[in-house]
């Protein structure tokens, strides 16, 4: 999703409208229309931080998922080593934070 701000089939037509380029957040992803029903994986890719994550320099990722008329879901994870640089998201990668069912 992050490689392009445009919606596409790869992002299930989600769009990135706030892209953090200074490393302090936040970023925002939205859908113009109701996304397809299914399970959505939530991942965090460490990209262009001034220092890689380490035990002395942890990177904390917080992702909030807001769905209409639903309680906000929050995913947190602390990274203490550089993560995968693959632009992929699945539940077997160290970048995985959790999933939601829509």
Domain ranges of the chain: 9-101
Q: Is the pLDDT of residue 56 over 90?
A: yes
Task: State pLDDT tens for residues 9-53.
Answer: 666 778 888 777 776 778 888 888 888 889 989 998 877 777 788
With CA atoms as reference, report the closest residue to 43 among 81, 85, 96, 6: 96
Q: Is the pLDDT of residue 79 over 60?
A: yes
Q: State the sign of the Cα–Cα–Cα–Cα dihedral 79, 81, 84, 85.
A: positive
Q: Is the pLDDT of residue 81 over 80?
A: yes
């Amino acid at each position: 999703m992050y490689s392009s701000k445009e919606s596409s089939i790869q992002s299930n037509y989600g769009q990135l409208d706030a892209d953090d380029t200074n490393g302090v957040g936040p970023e925002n992803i939205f859908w113009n229309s109701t996304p397809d029903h299914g399970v959505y994986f939530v991942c965090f890719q460490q990209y262009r931080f001034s220092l890689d994550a380490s035990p002395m320099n942890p990177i904390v990722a917080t992702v909030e998922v807001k769905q209409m008329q639903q309680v906000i879901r929050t995913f947190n994870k602390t990274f203490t080593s550089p993560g995968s640089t693959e632009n992929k998201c699945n539940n077997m990668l160290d970048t995985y934070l959790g999933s939601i069912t829509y």
